[in-house]
Amino acid sequence: MMLSPNEINLADSHVMAIINLTPDSFYAASRRATLEDACAAVERACREGASIVDLGGYSSRPGAADVSVEEEWQRVHRGLEAVRRVEAGVVVSIDTFRSEIVRRAYEEFGEFIVNDISAGELDCSMAATVARVGLPYVAMHMRGTPETMQSMKDYEGGVVGDVCDYLARRSEELQFAGIARERIILDPGFGFAKSAEQNFELFRGLDAVRELGYPVLVGVSRKSMIYKTLGISAEEALSGSLALAWEALRGGPAILRVHDVAATRQVLELSKHYFQSR
């Protein structure tokens, strides 16, 4: 069964498992094309220690093509049905920027976390929909759309300052729309409208994001900032992903959105012993 998001403490660190229900996500091993694949992925993520499973039916990789609401819903529904069949006892997150997906999912399956790459700016009904049903909400920094974002990497005030200014302003707007402050989670949007150098600069500035006073989600798993820097492929980027997971935890609690749950869970457990014993 799906747990209520209220059953996890967002003041602690958590591993969020990526379950891509798309045919074109950048890391091929994360794609789950059938209900059976999705069930196996949910079961494995929970067995390996994920607190949250993040279901995505719309690829947000750079240059990704648009898909219809109906196609996205078919994919997301498959993931939600997998959670229900597995009875995993896990909190669900849905990676969508469409309020219609949120509405349908809530009506059929109940509470979950909304993980919105656009912070509500690609669908003017999103904030009101989330506020009406009282769901936790991840607001991520991005510019443009997945198709156009890589042409929008100029930051006049520096990437850290501009991202923090945006997230501060947007979180206030979301509260004005009715989303409770304690339900807002911020994601600086690594890889979205940012060069590799800007991604690392932003990573070094995570403390500034935390100072805004909200839980922080960090999603760098197997991304191009790792594999292009190292001259390898996404399939070879586990070690780099784990190194950045450790660094993300150095500054305090975080939700780590990852492809590799068991390995990241080990990093999280070691970080608790290391940082708490200092």
Instruction: Return the active site residues.
Output: 223, 257
Neighbouring C-beta atoms of residue 180, cutoff 10 Å: 12
CA distances 42 to 38, 80, 100, Å, are: 6, 10, 24
Burial of 65 (0-12, 13-18, 19+ CB in 10 A): exposed
DSSP code for 236: G
- Please name the residues in contact with 4: beta carbons below 8 A apart, sequence gap of 6 or more: 91, 110, 111
* Amino acid at residue number 6: N
CB 146 within 8 A of CB 63: yes
Q: Give the pair of three-digit tokens for residue 229.
A: 């820097």
DSSP H or E stretch at residue 100: helix 99-109
Measured distance CA(208)–CA(81) in Å, rounded: 38
